[in-house]
Structure 1
Amino acid sequence: MHSLLEALIYYEQLARMKDDGYQLFGLYEENRLVCCYRAFFRVNFCSGGKQVYLSECVTDATVRSKGYGGKLIQLVKHGASYSYF
């Protein structure tokens, strides 16, 4: 179990990441978070294109090999092509 101090540190870090443009994406199964990614979106003026950086993919061990990571990547790619820029 995590301590209150660990939780406070986590939420402080999360707030800083949000200020820097990071977003969290999650996939739920029966109201339970089973997979999540951290993503950062930006426009690269040198190449003239949009870029998405995905990091820290976490998948619940009990649901691995169900393709949830791939589904979440598709969701992020779809969102990147429309509304995040």
Structure 2
Amino acid sequence: MLLPAVFMVSEREDGKWRAHDPGAAYATPQGARDSLAAWLRVMAPFTLKLDDATRAVYAQAADRLDDRRRNALSVAERRFG
């Protein structure tokens, strides 16, 4: 039986990769990228209580992710892959 590929977002923390959102899985790499971009724009400012300047940095990172379809991204000393 062939199982479909599953994609997720991970974050590098303390020298180890961990699931960014352990319950989330996506059918395509683009789905995982879109989820991370949405988190950077909407949920990160709310959950991390970001100030306006840092919120803008996260939004710019989401724009870079959308523009270049990256598989890795760094923002505010956080590394996602």
Q: More relative contact order in 1 or in 2 (CA 8 Å, sep 6+)?
A: 2
TM-score range, shorter chain: 0.3 to 0.5
Q: Which has the larger helix fraction?
A: 2
**Which has the larger Rg?**
1
Task: Write 1 or 2 for the structure with the bigger share of strand.
Answer: 1
User: Could you tell me the TM-score, scaled by structure 2's length?
Assistant: 0.32
TM (norm. structure 1) is 0.31
